Amino acid sequence: MNKILVTVLTSALVAGATAFGVDRVFAKTDEKAETVQSINGMYRTVNLTETDYPDLTYAAESAVDAVVYVKVTETVQNPYGQVDPLLRYFFGFGDGAPKERSGSGSGVIIRPDGYIVTNNHVVANASKIEVTLNGNQTYEAKVIGTDPVTDVAIIKIDADNLPVIPMGDSEKLRLGEWVLAIGSPLGFELRGTITAGIVSAKGRSMPPQNNEFKIESFIQTDAAVNPGNSGGALVNKKGELVGINTAIVSPTGSYSGYSFAVPVNIVKRIAADLIDFGQVKRAKLGVTMTTNTKKIADEMKHSAINGVYIVEVMAGSAADKAGIREGDVIYEIDGSSILTSQALQEKVNSFHPGDKAMIKFDRDGKKKEVVVEFQGDEEQVGTVAEDGSVVYYGATIKTASKATLKALGIRRGVEVVSVGKGKMKDAGASKGFVILYVNDHPVAKAEDVIALTKRSDRAVFIEGVDADGRPAYFGFGKAD
């Protein structure tokens, strides 16, 4: 009897061990946990486990309720004004009264007390805004603040305990990573639509329109986006907000494979400023730049190929005070690699005026680093820089040197040292222009220009000579 019992127990143990071993063999075969492969001579470890294939159900279900439908009503003035009754009858010009037209977009709830982020172009010029939640509740919304430079706006509804999407980190997005676009393509009936795609590119920009200054460093995806998706959410596999869908590139006006989103790292700071201050407090480095290339490197005879080539540094700017010079190549800001001018814009836009950052750059083949304290973007006419130049509507001006006066054959004047974004540039001022008269009064130093400008009620008229000595003049209004 004992022999039979021992035999049975031994057989059971052997069978169990065999089954476990077979199971582990097949499990290892099925998992293919890690495969090492050569890519352009480089070796990378690629995880091919089944659990790494994208399951987007959690992200979709957790994020969809925080994406809303935004209906916008705009009052449009009739360009013809009051129309003659005969013209109305024969030509259908209408009665000349203002008309209302509707548009729509999407928005993302970012705070449970009703704050919603959307695109500026969705709510611009709106006379009425209505927000419909995924549960069909409709609220009237008000605009808290807008930022046309990044195409971000904040609106608010009177509600509490709303679902929100946690904000992620758009800098950590990887090419080929799966993302979801959530919004209301083509209107109310398709609200809460979810589409999937991958990150196709980062740091994209689009051709400027109407010469407007824009900060663009878009996330490009192939998730289907159409008119009405503007202001909707771009989320990662974790259900985190990584971007706000804002534009498509298409020859037809409908989705053709290319959609673009404002990175959430830009949205975070813009939204915080708009909620706290009603306007954006934008940091400014004070440089003119271009993405570095081998062609530029060869022409300028510097060794760095990656990074951003500095074309000009504004006198008195944050970059100037930190010691950055024309011809430097910036390649890193606060640990983030800077490969394009769009990436530099995005990174600088993540700071506030007064914040400090470590900037690494290449100068004549030597690696250097400096700490920069960012300045504000606000125009502070009359501010005196360390070199004695004075801020003047986006430009900097300084009493013309004796060498400049002699070269141009003039006795006195105020030289334009640099020209940045602002009214001077818009009016046609250029570097090297020498101001001789402001509102018909002669000027000899920067303080004269400032004093005469302050005395003017509405407009400023400037006469002088350009860098080649040719007479020129321009003007601009003081009111915004």
SS (H, E, C) the chain: CHHHHHHHHHHHHHHHHHHHHHHHHHHHHHHCCEEEEEECCEEEEEECCHHHCCCCHHHHHHHHHHEEEEEEEEEECCCCCCCCHHHHHHHCCCCCCCEEEEEEEEEEECCCCCEEEECHHHHCCCCEEEEECCCCCEEEEEEEEEECCCCEEEEEECCCCCCCCCECCHHHCCCCCEEEEEECCCCHHHCCEEEEEEEEEEEECCCCCCCCCCCCCEEEECCCCCCCCCCCEEECCCCCEEEEEEEECCCCCCCCCCEEEEEHHHHHHHHHHHHHHCCCCCEECCEEEEECCHHHHHHHCCCCCCCEEEEEECCCCHHHHHCCCCCCEEEEECCEECCCHHHHHHHHCCCCCCCEEEEEEEECCEEEEEEEECEECCCCCCCECCCCCEEECCEEEEECCHHHHHHHCCCCCEEEEEECCCHHHHHCCCCCCEEEEECCEECCCHHHHHHHHHHCCCEEEEEEECCCCCEEEEEEECCC
Q: Is the pLDDT of residue 206 over 80?
A: no
Are 200 and 173 spatial neighbours (Cβ–Cβ below 8 Å)? Answer: no
For the ranges 83-87, 97-101, 262-266, the maximum mean pLDDT occurs at: 262-266
Grade residue 201 by pLDDT with cuts at 50, 70 and 90.
very high
Instruction: Express each pLDDT in 143-196 by its tens digit.
Output: 998 988 889 999 999 999 999 999 999 989 999 999 999 999 988 888 899 999
Q: Is the pLDDT of residue 94 over 50?
A: yes
pLDDT at 162: 96
Token digits of residue 234: 């771009």
Instruction: Express each pLDDT in 365-392 by its tens digit.
Output: 889 999 999 987 554 677 776 567 888 8
pLDDT at 263: 93
How far apart CA 327 and CA 30 sit, in angstroms, is 55
Active site residues: 121, 151, 230
Read off the pTM. 0.64
Q: Is the pLDDT of residue 1 over 70?
A: no
pLDDT at 448: 93
Report the mean per-residue pLDDT for the chain. 82
Average pLDDT, stretch 88-94?
Answer: 54
Are 146 and 124 spatial neighbours (Cβ–Cβ below 8 Å)? Answer: yes
Q: Is the pLDDT of residue 89 over 90?
A: no
Q: Which of 12-26, 181-195, 416-430 has the least mean pLDDT?
A: 12-26
Instruction: Express each pLDDT in 220-248 by its tens digit.
Output: 999 999 989 999 999 999 999 999 999 88
pLDDT at 33: 42
